[in-house]
Structure 1
Amino acid sequence: MRRCSLTLSSFSLCLHHSSKKPKYFYLSTSSFHPDHDKLPNDSNFPETTFSEIVFTEKPTTERSSRGQFPPSLTQIFQKEKYPTQDHIIEILLNNQHDPKYALGYFLWADKWGGNIKTIDSLCIMLHIFIQSGKLSSAERLLKKSLSGSSSPNASVLVDRLIKTLKICGSDNHRVFDCVLNVFARAGLVGEAVVGFNRMITSGIFPCVKSRNILLTALVRANKIEKAQDLYREMQARGMDCNCSTLDIMMHGSLKKGNLDEAEDYFWDMKGRGLKFDAVLYNTVIQSICKKQDSKRACEFLKEMKDLGFVPSDITYTSVIGACMKQGNMMEALRIKDEMISDGVPLNLVATTSLIKLYCTQGDVNGALVLLSKMTKSGIAPSGVTYAILIEGCCRNRNVEKAYELYKEMKEMGMSPNVFTVNSIIRGFLEKKRWEESFKLFDEAADSGLANIFTYNNLIYWLSTESRVTEARNLWDKMLNKGLIPTVVSYNGLILGHCKQGNMDAASILVTEMSEKGIKPNVITYTSMIDGYFKKGEVDQAFNVHGQMLGLGIVPNDFTFNTIINGLCKAGQTFEASKMLKKFIEEGFIPICMTYNSIIDGFIKEGSMKLALATFHQMHQSGVSPNVVTYTSFIDGYIKNNSINLALEMRNEMRSKGLQLDVAAYNALIDGFCKKRNMQCARELFDELFKVGLTPSSAIYNSLIGGYRNQNNMEEAFELHKHMCEEGIRCDLPTYTTLIDGSLKVGNIVFAAELYTEMLAKGVVPDIITYTVLINGLCHEGQLKNAHNVLDEMNGKNMSPNVLIYNALIAGYFRAGNMQEAFRLHDEMLDRGLEPDEATYDILVNGKFE
């Protein structure tokens, strides 16, 4: 008998170098620990665990450093060099009461058993573990056996377990739970199902826990229909189910998107009187939330809490999300407060959902407050949270805060997506903050983030501002980046050319679109129609309209309104009103803007009666007039010197709850200023501030002109000062009126200062400004300065008018310099200017006014 001189501590190392493997099972001591708990100590096996009882060759009877083997097993090992299957089973059956020793022999026999098939010995060893209450040890032993190349199939294993169960004289069926658990958890769900079917046909029913493990494995493997078949089989055979079973089946239905089926499981089990647990309620509520039935979700949430269960944070989040999707903000906030009061902290998903709800409702401030609370509570916002807030701020026209959040997001190491960047760029563009929008665009373009939509936004906005050259440069840059223009890209550039009246360039782009297989749409043709109307080419506009119809492109409301507005602007308002009737017959429903175009057109043509008739037609069509409608009438009545009728319109407007806008105030103030009723004009000006409006440059100009006409330049200068303080731009009419007033009151120094200030601000004088300057200087006897202004005009290739020559001729005539006066007369004739009656009154009759 050969002896082994190795100690127990060396056995594991020797095992790694052993090349001999048994046919069915190879159990490595380095990875197999059937039980972490030690069996009762034996005097010959102090502190020895199962994993140490493995041999790399036949054992020695010599005492090792870790202890000595029991004589009984040692004698057996020494006696049998190659034990038979019957002998192995005999030894295992004789040692059922001592699983520790039985395992030692089993491992030795498996290692040295040669070609002996050991499936029966494995089954007996599993029974031994089960009988001794070592289910986890049995599971680990079986799991290790399945990792071999010749692992037993489930059907055979179940049959052999049934046979050996009788041999062992046991009636403990927990070994079958062990088989089901191990096969299912090892991912061998098909084998697990086969084994399960073999068990139940043999009258063996695994426990509900094991059945649930099998159902879970099937659901996770997306074999949901198989799980449902198995569930029905269990029900048909009277196997009891618990909440976990129901929860598994509901998750399976939810996984395949069948919400109704998931709920059917719930009601079926509720009808059977099953008492639900918190897990099941959480699943049910989340299922209902996916159906977006927030009312029922809240009812189940209340039922769950009434039973003493605390909903999970995911459940609360689901209910909040369902309420949010149905626009029930108050209920969502109530659930949020309830969640916090139950001690369930707000998670990232719930907080982000509430932030989205605030933004959807337009309450961006509430969303920002929630963000602050979120960060203070230790919840770090995600990229989605920031994206929602940025979008909300942009929609609320608070692009400054949006950009602040964008920078904060980047500082936290998050990369904004292109949609977020595009939102901020659009926000800057809407506020005409070109520098910031292009800076952000350059960052996006350099990083490769900018997409076709980014370019389209900028091209469109540049085109609306008639900055077509810049739009075209951006277009070229877009092409160089390899981006393919869309119909939206072309429409943006076509719009720019149409606004500039460059219809040839616009037409070339339309042709280019067709050549590249991009079909022009209704917006393309409507832009072209609008461009031709603005250029006064009405016939060409209708030719494009005809082409559009010929291609089968159906006009939309934008097209109809463009044609009506274009005819009105072209002075063909009556034709526009006839065209409106035709469009209505074709199904067009006019809106307030439609009627406003016709009303404004008639008013500008001096046809107040037709404007009022259209106004009544508008009422009969059920369209309510807006501020623009009344402003047109107010402006029309004022221009017709019917200030009282204008005020009546103002009163009617207020009676309908409409607030005057800046344009309406401008019309009224201008009317009173022209009537020299500065008191009423000033009252309206003060009222404008009280209602929260900011006066425009036109309003200031009307008031300054009114005070100038009354020679009250102190008030005019005070208004100019107020403009500068408020940051309201002084335009050419502002400076021209102030310079004229200053010269009329003899304040030449201030007039010169104003003129210098005007030039410094880049405001270019026109013929009216030069006329005012020369006339005022001549009246003050400043003939040399007046002549210098004339030279300045000549230097700018700007031709003086008759009024300028009359002022100069009168000035020199008044100064007694007849020679210069007549020379100027001759110069005037040489320029092709026709002297008027005032010229001859000065030269012949000496009338200087």
Structure 2
Amino acid sequence: MFSHAPPYLLVTRRHLLFRYHRRLSAETGSGPSRPDRVDLWIAKLVSTIFRLSPSPAAAADRLAPLRQVLSPSVIFTALRRIPDPLSALGLFNLSRTAFGVVHFDAAFRFMICCLCRSGLHDDALKVFDEMVSDGHSNDGPFMEFLANSCLEAGKLDLAIAFFHKASHLGYFLQPYTLNKLLTLLIEKNRVNDASVFLRQHLDLQSLSVDTFSFNIIIKGLCKVSDLDTALKFFNQMGSYGFLPDTVTHNILIDGLCKADQVDRGHKILQKIQLDGSCVPNVVTYTSLIHGYCKIGKMKEAYGIFDEMIGIGVRPSRITYNILIDGYGKVGDMLSAISLYERMLICGCPPDIVTFTSLIDGYCRNEQLDDAMKLWNEMNRRELKPNAHTFSVVIHYLCRKNRLAEARNLLKTLNGRRDLLPHAFIYNPVIDGLCKAGDVDQANVVLLEMEERQCMPDKFTYTILIIGHCKKGRMLEAIAIFQKMVNSGCAPDSITVGSLVSCLLKAGIPNEINKVMLIASGRNSKLDIPRIVETPLGKSMGISVAI
């Protein structure tokens, strides 16, 4: 058989055939025997020939003289010498089709693992199909590996297809793997796909499911406000042999409360209290309290709180904060402060959310001085205000025309490198300064924003445009408008309408066409025949053309 072989294939015929016939008696067909030195040499030769061949057809021609020694063991060893999974797959397929090699289970698994680790899951599943069609068996851990590999690579549709294959073959993948699939589908906003998939397999009884599987689906459905489907899953759990646990009830109650169906959530609580199917905890009660506070029913919210304490469930800081915030929003600061004091007595230290809620409540009730006392108390407790805290206090200081105090707070905010500022914090100060006629200071605040890499929004620009118009600085207002457009902040009808109205009132309607061109993006830069020196031009670096 070697008469026409090229020089690199001139191997001792007798030696190779001896090894081949000896192996025929030892092969079991289920796994590779330990390769000896000649096997390793042949495998090295096979892998080298295949890698150096320009095409599979050329490789088949070059390997033909070695047909009698291309055993499953040799091919398996050769596969392990090829670093590129696709190249190894080529040899794997060629040896099956051209030379009739019947691969071991181990060879199939090796190829599948290599392809999965290289992200080639489509090819891996094709090899898996070939493995099944060849009559090779699989075990649970290997099936779990393949399913989880698809999930970790984000190949959710492939994972779904593999689940179907596994159930058809009689393998029930572990609930952990199923739950991972459901979670990833919901994270990708494919809640309907997740619920349909679970429903199909529940009806076919072809999946290993647990209570956590139902919890994932119910939570996803509540998240997209599909409460009717969530309730169907909840009510049918018993027919599939599962009972809702405390987490299930908490998820459903929270979903109902967020959808302002608090009374329905309360009925679920009352039901589990009567039948004793599970024990409500602090999360259960806190969800209901939050729901009632959200719709302003503080009497009902406190009733749940009182009931909670009565049965020995200890409120969390979150529970107190929700109630305090609710009382603040309805203007009942006496109750809010009473709960704050109760927190301290019960050894539940307040946090920044507690103080922000109290400060917001005082500000809503026009008790700004009391709010500032709490601000100072917060600092004494070494609690750092967050962006929302700054926003609340600065907003109400500006409403009361206490601009100097608001500016001082902005300076404090600018000194906080751990806090990312937002335009909604600066806008009230800019608005207050513009209304007070101090547009130059408003420009300074804008520069401070930009130095902190806080991009102005459409409200910032609109406030500045109107402020400059009221001061008669029409050309500067147009320049700010152009800067707004150039920065990618699209003006709305209010911004454009306000500027056009001001231009008409100022008696310069000829500028309106220029504004409309800028708004349409067809005039990204103004023609500048003459530069006007203005305070805005100096502080903002804008050249104003006339």
Aligned twin of 1:678:
333
Distance 1:750 1:710, change over 3 A: farther
What is the deviation of 1:657?
2.6
What is the deviation of 1:687?
0.9
**Secondary structure at the residue paired with 1:805?**
helix
Equivalents in 2 of 1:510, 1:724: separation in Å?
57
| Equivalent residue letter for 1:564 | I
Aligned twin of 1:764:
420
Aligned twin of 2:254:
600
Distance 1:679 1:822, change over 3 A: farther
Structure 1 contact 533–570 (Cα < 8 Å) conserved: no
Alignment of 1:455-474 (within 5 A): none
Aligned twin of 1:640:
295
Distance 1:768 1:599, change over 3 A: same
| Equivalent residue letter for 2:393 | L
Q: Deviations over 1:5-25 (max 9, x none)?
A: xxxxxxxxxxxxxxxxxxxxx
Equivalents in 2 of 1:492, 1:694: separation in Å?
43
Structure 1 contact 742–751 (Cα < 8 Å) conserved: no
Please point out which of 345, 348, 365 is paired with 1:693: 348
Q: Does the alignment pair 1:706 with 2:353?
A: no
Equivalents in 1 of 2:157, 2:431: separation in Å?
45
Alignment: residue pair count: 352
Aligned twin of 1:808:
464
Equivalents in 2 of 1:539, 1:662: separation in Å?
35
Q: Does the alignment pair 1:587 with 2:241?
A: yes
Q: Does the alignment pair 1:834 with 2:492?
A: yes
Structure 2 contact 434–467 (Cα < 8 Å) conserved: yes
Distance 1:699 1:529, change over 3 A: same
Structure 1 contact 494–509 (Cα < 8 Å) conserved: no
Please point out which of 158, 179, 182 is paired with 1:526: 179
Equivalents in 2 of 1:839, 1:707: separation in Å?
36
Distance 1:583 1:505, change over 3 A: closer
Aligned twin of 1:398:
none
| Equivalent residue letter for 1:775 | D
**Secondary structure at the residue paired with 2:237?**
helix
What is the deviation of 1:488?
11
Q: Does the alignment pair 1:820 with 2:476?
A: yes
Q: Deviations over 1:405-451 (max 9, x none)?
A: xxxxxxxxxxxxxxxxxxxxxxxxxxxxxxxxxxxxxxxxxxxxxxx
Taking structure 2 as the reference length, what is the TM-score of the superposition?
A: 0.54
Structure 1 contact 701–734 (Cα < 8 Å) conserved: yes
Aligned twin of 1:616:
270
What is the deviation of 1:719?
3.3
| Equivalent residue letter for 2:335 | C
Structure with higher Rg: it is: 1
Aligned twin of 2:408:
750
| Equivalent residue letter for 2:348 | L
Q: Deviations over 1:314-346 (max 9, x none)?
A: xxxxxxxxxxxxxxxxxxxxxxxxxxxxxxxxx
What is the deviation of 1:706?
2.3
Aligned twin of 2:224:
570
Distance 1:805 1:571, change over 3 A: same
What is the deviation of 1:774?
2.8
Aligned twin of 2:65:
none
Distance 1:537 1:644, change over 3 A: same
Higher relative contact order (CA 8 A, sep 6+): 2
Structure 1 contact 634–650 (Cα < 8 Å) conserved: yes
Distance 1:748 1:700, change over 3 A: closer
Aligned twin of 2:280:
625
| Equivalent residue letter for 1:813 | C
Structure 1 contact 494–524 (Cα < 8 Å) conserved: no
Structure 2 contact 449–455 (Cα < 8 Å) conserved: yes
Structure 2 contact 390–409 (Cα < 8 Å) conserved: no
Please point out which of 538, 542, 549 is paired with 2:191: 538
What is the deviation of 1:668?
1.1
Equivalents in 2 of 1:820, 1:741: separation in Å?
29
Aligned twin of 2:64:
none
Q: Deviations over 1:271-301 (max 9, x none)?
A: xxxxxxxxxxxxxxxxxxxxxxxxxxxxxxx
What is the deviation of 1:688?
0.9
Equivalents in 2 of 1:488, 1:772: separation in Å?
57
Taking structure 1 as the reference length, what is the TM-score of the superposition?
A: 0.36
| Equivalent residue letter for 2:409 | A
Distance 1:540 1:790, change over 3 A: farther
What is the deviation of 1:576?
0.9
Structure 1 contact 627–658 (Cα < 8 Å) conserved: yes
Distance 1:587 1:675, change over 3 A: same
Equivalents in 2 of 1:592, 1:789: separation in Å?
51
Distance 1:508 1:791, change over 3 A: farther
Please point out which of 306, 330, 341 is paired with 1:651: 306
Aligned twin of 2:209:
555
| Equivalent residue letter for 1:787 | N
Equivalents in 2 of 1:525, 1:836: separation in Å?
51
What is the deviation of 1:795?
7.8
Q: Deviations over 1:685-714 (max 9, x none)?
A: 111111111223222221122233345454
Structure 2 contact 343–350 (Cα < 8 Å) conserved: yes
Equivalents in 1 of 2:325, 2:150: separation in Å?
37
Distance 1:505 1:695, change over 3 A: farther
**Secondary structure at the residue paired with 1:685?**
helix
Q: Deviations over 1:749-791 (max 9, x none)?
A: 4223222233x22x11223224334334434544234334545
What is the deviation of 1:490?
11
Distance 1:785 1:841, change over 3 A: closer
Distance 1:553 1:678, change over 3 A: same
Equivalents in 2 of 1:662, 1:575: separation in Å?
33
Unaligned regions of 5+ residues in structure 2, if any?
1-140, 506-546
Distance 1:706 1:591, change over 3 A: same
Structure 1 contact 801–833 (Cα < 8 Å) conserved: no
Equivalents in 1 of 2:337, 2:227: separation in Å?
35
What is the deviation of 1:538?
0.9
Equivalents in 2 of 1:507, 1:689: separation in Å?
54
Equivalents in 2 of 1:677, 1:838: separation in Å?
42
Equivalents in 1 of 2:180, 2:376: separation in Å?
42
Q: Deviations over 1:596-623 (max 9, x none)?
A: 2112111211223432332333334323
What is the deviation of 1:519?
9.6
Equivalents in 2 of 1:748, 1:609: separation in Å?
42
Equivalents in 2 of 1:620, 1:569: separation in Å?
28
Unaligned regions of 5+ residues in structure 1, if any?
1-484
Equivalents in 1 of 2:241, 2:159: separation in Å?
33
Aligned twin of 1:237:
none
Q: Deviations over 1:439-489 (max 9, x none)?
A: xxxxxxxxxxxxxxxxxxxxxxxxxxxxxxxxxxxxxxxxxxxxxx99999
What is the deviation of 1:529?
0.9
Distance 1:595 1:793, change over 3 A: same
Equivalents in 2 of 1:782, 1:728: separation in Å?
33
Aligned twin of 2:537:
none
Structure 2 contact 406–429 (Cα < 8 Å) conserved: no
What is the deviation of 1:843?
4.5
Structure 2 contact 421–454 (Cα < 8 Å) conserved: no
Structure 1 contact 707–716 (Cα < 8 Å) conserved: yes
Please point out which of 321, 332, 353 is paired with 1:666: 321
| Equivalent residue letter for 1:709 | R
Q: Deviations over 1:207-261 (max 9, x none)?
A: xxxxxxxxxxxxxxxxxxxxxxxxxxxxxxxxxxxxxxxxxxxxxxxxxxxxxxx
Distance 1:634 1:821, change over 3 A: same
**Secondary structure at the residue paired with 1:786?**
helix
Equivalents in 2 of 1:773, 1:510: separation in Å?
57
| Equivalent residue letter for 1:685 | Y
Equivalents in 2 of 1:490, 1:742: separation in Å?
60
**Secondary structure at the residue paired with 1:533?**
helix
**Secondary structure at the residue paired with 1:836?**
helix
